[in-house]
């Protein structure tokens, strides 16, 4: 918010700041089990504590704040669907993509983007919703929720998941009705702009183009950035601007521009505001200059990355027309 205010983006007539609403329990129930929702509430009311076995701490305020995060995401989707805005960025925390139907994980309490996708299916009768996950870590919760669902295409580019969260390998492609509607692109630690954008342009874009989504949701993690203390990728701001330029084009082509980005990770506070402002400016068509040095390619990382791209292409060619 400091960066958005300093940049003048919010004073531009092309961008508006909207207050979130609070999500109802029935909204959360679109993807979460009622016993889990009540557990979160009870732990928060009793003073807070650890929700999972590792890192998801909650305070007395977390239940209400997490419901606001879901509600803000739903409001963004509703405003775009009703034509009030062409697109929107839900600046919400806690993040959501690690939260599953009955568990918290990775700082995530409720799965904001999964609730939004389910809301689009249930209340707007859509049957082709794209979730593009560009957080540094695999969205295990989002994948689990839609793994057997052909109405949601889940595409995730992320760092090697063998340390965390132990899901998101290339062979995970969905099952039953959802077979072929999960696309995982796990990239080696140290992946820079060049390899990441190669994967994006050669795998993600062709699949989205064939899918022809009716609405695009983007799990936007800024922890891919080369300075982030929590992740192991090496992207610069250049990748984010290129990705969002392409997503805007695809949204314009297939779904009248209907597109909502939702904040996920990003833990370097020095660059988080600048990256978010750069993306929001792109979405609103407002000039915003961000200077950011691009990291050079490490030969071993580049080779591993290119090998993984070819492996994903081979796996996904069973479901989509992808050139090797």
pLDDT in tens, 108-152: 999 999 999 999 999 999 999 999 999 999 999 999 999 999 999
The predicted model gives 86-114 an average pLDDT of 97
Residue 5 has pLDDT above 90, yes or no: yes
Query: What does the alpha-carbon distance between residue 266 and residue 222 come to, in Å, rounded to a whole number?
Result: 4
Say if CB 315 and CB 170 are below 8 A apart: yes
Query: What does the alpha-carbon distance between residue 274 and residue 148 come to, in Å, rounded to a whole number?
Result: 37
Residues with catalytic annotation?
98
Structural domain boundaries of the chain? 2-316
Number of Cβ within 10 Å of residue 45's Cβ equals 10
Number of Cβ within 10 Å of residue 34's Cβ equals 12
What is the reported pLDDT for 269? 93
Homologous superfamily of domain range 2-316:
Histone deacetylase domain (3.40.800.20)
What is the reported pLDDT for 43? 96
What's phi and psi for 214, nearest 5 deg? -90, -20
Q: How much of the chain exceeds pLDDT 70, in percent?
A: 100
Number of Cβ within 10 Å of residue 7's Cβ equals 21
For the whole prediction, is pTM greater than 0.95? yes
Mean pLDDT, rounded, of the chain: 96
pLDDT in tens, 24-52: 999 999 999 999 999 999 999 999 999 98
Band of residue 158 on the pLDDT scale cut at 50, 70, 90: very high
What is the reported pLDDT for 44? 97
For the chain, how far is it from start to end, CA to CA, in angstroms?
Answer: 43
Number of Cβ within 10 Å of residue 248's Cβ equals 18
Say if CB 95 and CB 140 are below 8 A apart: no
């Amino acid at each position: 918010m400091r960066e958005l205010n300093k940049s003048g983006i919010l004073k531009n007539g092309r961008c508006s700041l909207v207050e979130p609403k609070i999500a109802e329990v029935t909204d959360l129930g679109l993807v979460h089990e009622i016993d889990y929702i009540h557990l979160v509430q009870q732990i928060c009311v009793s003073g807070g504590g650890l929700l999972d076995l590792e890192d998801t701490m909650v305070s007395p305020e977390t239940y209400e704040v997490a419901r606001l995060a879901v509600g803000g995401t739903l409001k963004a989707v509703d405003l775009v669907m009703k034509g009030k805005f062409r697109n929107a960025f839900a600046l919400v925390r806690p993040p959501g993509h690690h939260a599953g139907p009955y568990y918290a994980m990775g700082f995530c309490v409720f799965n904001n983007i999964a609730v939004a996708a389910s809301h689009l299916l249930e209340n707007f009768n859509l049957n082709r919703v794209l979730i593009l996950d560009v957080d540094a870590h695999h969205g295990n919760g989002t994948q689990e929720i839609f793994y057997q669902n052909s109405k949601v295409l889940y595409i995730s580019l992320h760092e090697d998941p063998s340390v965390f969260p132990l899901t998101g390998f290339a062979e995970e492609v969905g099952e039953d009705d959802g077979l072929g509607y999960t696309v995982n692109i796990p990239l080696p630690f140290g992946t820079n702009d060049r390899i990441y954008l190669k994967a994006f342009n050669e795998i993600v874009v062709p699949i989205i183009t064939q899918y022809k989504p009716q609405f695009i949701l983007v799990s936007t993690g800024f922890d891919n950035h080369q300075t982030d203390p929590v992740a192991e990728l090496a992207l610069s701001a250049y990748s984010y601007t290129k990705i969002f330029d392409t997503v805007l084009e695809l949204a314009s082509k297939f779904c009248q521009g209907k597109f909502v980005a939702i904040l996920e990770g990003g833990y370097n506070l020095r660059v988080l505001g600048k990256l978010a402002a750069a993306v929001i400016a792109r979405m609103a068509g407002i000039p915003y200059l961000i200077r950011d040095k691009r990291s050079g390619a490490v030969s071993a990382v580049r080779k591993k990355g290119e090998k993984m791209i070819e492996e994903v292409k081979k796996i996904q060619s069973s479901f989509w027309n992808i050139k090797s």
